Amino acid sequence: MNLDELKSTWKAYDEKMLASQKLSERVVFMMIKDRSKSTLAKMERNLTGAGLIMTAVVLFFAAAIAGNAFDYTSWYFYIPSVLYIGLALFAISVVVKNYRNLSRVSLSQQNLYDSLTTVLRWHEKTRTALARVWLLCMMSGFLFGVSMVARKFETYGTTKVALLLSGQALMILMVYALARWVFAVFEDRLGKELKENIQELAQLKAIS
């Protein structure tokens, strides 16, 4: 084999290896893209569920206020219910905004890394906002209990009212602590999936 034939053979081998590498990268990219689509679909389903729950909260307390379901006698008794409605509406606005953002996401080979990074940022901001809504709902729940007990102040007396409110405050703190523990134990699976896909894309870009 002369030098020209050797160069030609080596060039053909290089082209074959390059084509094989590109094919492998393409296969890996398609796998990451499919997983990312599945993750985004699950995020949209979760947002839909959260939106429906918050809508139910708005309708429930709006109906309770309109029909005076709790037999309130003064306007300030309605404050906790109004707070619940306000928090639920805020949560709905967060959910709708994130859902619209997700619906506009384009996953292509050119922008997949940037798109997933942006989605992860949206996801984390949404989780933070909804966690704050949860905390404020706990506080509103305490005020709701206060409004219920306040009507019976003369009947129960100071000591019994204080015990009831203390018990309710303790229960709310326990529920909040339990919720934080649950959130810590059950990690953010969707966020983890996004981070894993982003990490794999970064590795793919590094070797390509």
Collapsing DSSP to helix, strand or coil, 186 comes out as coil
Amino acid occupying residue 115: S
The pLDDT mean for the chain works out to 79
Amino acid occupying residue 102: L
| Paired tokens of 111 | 């922008």
The Cα–Cα gap between 29 and 47 comes to: 27
Report the pLDDT value the prediction gives residue 189, as an integer from 0 to 100: 85
Classify burial at 179, counting beta carbons within 10 Å of its beta carbon; exposed 0-12, middle 13-18, buried 19 or more. Answer: middle
Please give the average per-residue pLDDT across 24-47, as a whole number: 87
Write down the pTM of the prediction.
0.73
The overall longest dimension of the chain from CA atoms, in Å, is 109
State yes or no: pLDDT of 101 exceeds 90: yes
Using one digit for the tens of pLDDT, what is the confidence trace for 55-72? 999 999 899 888 887 777
Collapsing DSSP to helix, strand or coil, 187 comes out as coil
With CA atoms as reference, report the closest residue to 90 among 143, 47, 130. Answer: 130
Residues 6+ positions from 103 with CB-CB distance below 8 Å: 44
The Cα–Cα gap between 190 and 20 comes to: 32
Using one digit for the tens of pLDDT, what is the confidence trace for 39-56? 999 999 999 998 999 999
Domain residue ranges of the chain, discontinuous segments joined by +: 21-207
Q: Vertex 136, ends 177 and 193: CA angle to 5°?
A: 65
Report the pLDDT value the prediction gives residue 51, as an integer from 0 to 100: 92
Report the pLDDT value the prediction gives residue 106, as an integer from 0 to 100: 85
State yes or no: pLDDT of 79 exceeds 60: yes
